[in-house]
Structure 1
Amino acid sequence: MTQFAKAHACGNDFLIVEGSFDRELAVRLCERNTGVGADGVEFLGWTGEREGVIRLANADGSIAEISGNGTRCVAAWIAYRKKAVAGDLIRLETDAGMRECTLVKAEGHRFLFSQGMGVPQVHDGEVCLSDGSVISGVVVSTGNPHFVIFVEDESFKVKGQSWQEIGKGICFHQDFPEQTNVEFVHILSKDEIEIRIFERGVGPTTSSGTGTCATAAATIARRGASPSLLVRAPGGEQRVEWAGEGMEITLTGPAELIAKGDAWL
């Protein structure tokens, strides 16, 4: 029997298990029909009153260095457990380094956090798909890998293909032996963008914290967007602030606790 909590950040859902990392358990728990259902499992080890070490397994059992949304979901669980109030700091060590989440607001089981997401690395790239199509994009590291594509089409199509098809082709491309997250950006204004996400280890998903940061960094660096950028995804909105190269990027967004219980797996 495994005790768990479940939370989501803009529809990107995670299970939080206090205990040692277990890839096989994560796969069973994440199954939508035969398990609890989630995009991933964050395994939490406490190291202090509001501090911990987390390790993330995606739904397919692969290891992810970090999830911005997953980190925030764990922060929500800690805030709930420790009765945190606005201004309290929650520190979580991830495979991509230490991340600090500041509680902005708490209402019942709903929390709003501002979190430091490290210093993004941005450079141009391109991928040649199996049909010969060459896709230009921006390669961004936010502690994990991203390939960001700008699109004009409101349906997010690229060269006549759906973003889901293109996303899958790039995610599993030989140029990315560890696979990569793929994001598609439609610029709405200097201050606002809309995105779609094909997440490594998950597939199409409603939101991604690191993906939100990656798309914002690419849009600020390559398209001259505002350093305070609203990012819309199917699951909701998050705000990113980034002053540019060499500076830490900050993500502000919600996390909501859904349930806690025992899984008989």
Structure 2
Amino acid sequence: MIPFAKAHACGNDFLIVTEDAAARRDWADLSRQLCARNTGVGADGVEFFAWTGSKSGRIRLHNADGSIAEISGNGTRCVAAWMSSMIGAKAGDELRIETDAGLRICHINGVQPDGGYSVDVTTGMGIPSAARKMVRLGDGRSVEGIAVSTGNPHFVIVVDNSDFSVAGTEWQEIGSQICTHSDFLHQTNVEFVRIVSPNEIEIRIFERGVGPTTSSGTGTSASATAAIAFHGCLSPLRVVAPGGTQTVRWDGQGSELELTGPATLIARGEAWCG
């Protein structure tokens, strides 16, 4: 039996499993079993966690397909919610979480312990980088976008229509082609951005190792980076995904990006895993 906690951030759901509980298991295989929507618990990924101090920990993220990802902004925030519940954190507390993309400091803005346990968190997401890039698809079409690093890779495409299609092709299909494109050695996350106003954008997300998903913390951060750096949007920027809204503050090149949003614990339990 594998004990777990489940949490979501704007519908982007994760399981938290301690390294001790997963000892002597193949984490990739375990993640595929646990994340299966119909035969497992169901999640976009598993955050394997170890405490390193009274308010600090280390995580390693496996996507639903078992692959390793450097970081998930929403997954990190879900871990912060779980840590908060375990130690009784209060507004103003600071949690330190080591990821494969570096240290992330999570500031707890508020805790709602009643009717389900939720926290509002501002996470320092590091210093992003961004550059324009053209990707040529297999059918010869070229797609212009912005390659962004937020500790993991993203390709951001700005669209001017409400269905997020690109040259008449559904965003999910374009996302699938670009995610596994040979230009990206370790694949890439793909975001589609519609600019609503200088202070708000709307996004769709094709996540590496997952596929279309309701939200992404690093995807939100990457989309905001592209919109602010290249399309005249302003900080703070509201980023609206199907799963909910997050806020990004970024002062431009060379400065750290901050991501604010909610995370909610869903369940605790034990899972049978072969």
TM-score (normalised: structure 2): 0.96
Rounded Cα–Cα distance in structure 1 between residues aligned with 2:244 and 2:161: 20
Q: Secondary structure at the match of 1:207?
A: coil
The alignment status of 1:14 with 2:14, answered yes or no, reads yes
Alignment match, 2:124: 116
* Alpha-carbon shift at residue 79 of structure 1 (Å): 0.2
Q: Secondary structure at the match of 1:258?
A: strand
Bigger drift between 220-229 and 140-149 goes to: 220-229
Bigger drift between 18-27 and 92-101 goes to: 18-27
Pairs within 5 Å for 1:1-265: 1-19=1-19, 20=23, 22-108=27-113, 109-265=117-273
Q: Structure 1 counterpart of 2:198, which letter? A: K
Rounded Cα–Cα distance in structure 1 between residues aligned with 2:69 and 2:78: 15
Q: Structure 1 counterpart of 2:188, which letter? A: T
* Alpha-carbon shift at residue 177 of structure 1 (Å): 2.2
Structure 1 runs not aligned, ≥5 long: none
Rounded Cα–Cα distance in structure 2 between residues aligned with 1:131 and 1:161: 12
Q: Secondary structure at the match of 2:97?
A: strand
Rounded Cα–Cα distance in structure 1 between residues aligned with 2:49 and 2:155: 29
Structure 2 runs not aligned, ≥5 long: none
Bigger drift between 15-24 and 231-240 goes to: 15-24
Q: Structure 1 counterpart of 2:195, which letter? A: I
CA deviation profile, 1:51-72 (whole Å, cap 9, x unmatched):
0000000000000000000000
CA deviation profile, 1:116-167 (whole Å, cap 9, x unmatched):
0000011010100011110000000000000000000110010000000000
Rounded Cα–Cα distance in structure 2 between residues aligned with 1:22 and 1:166: 30
Q: Structure 2 counterpart of 1:42, which letter? A: E
Identity across aligned pairs (percent)? 61
User: Would you identify which runs of 4 or more consecutive aligned residues in structure 1 move more than 6 Å?
Assistant: none
Q: Report the number of matched residues.
A: 265
CA deviation profile, 1:239-258 (whole Å, cap 9, x unmatched):
00000000000000000000
Root-mean-square deviation (Å): 0.7
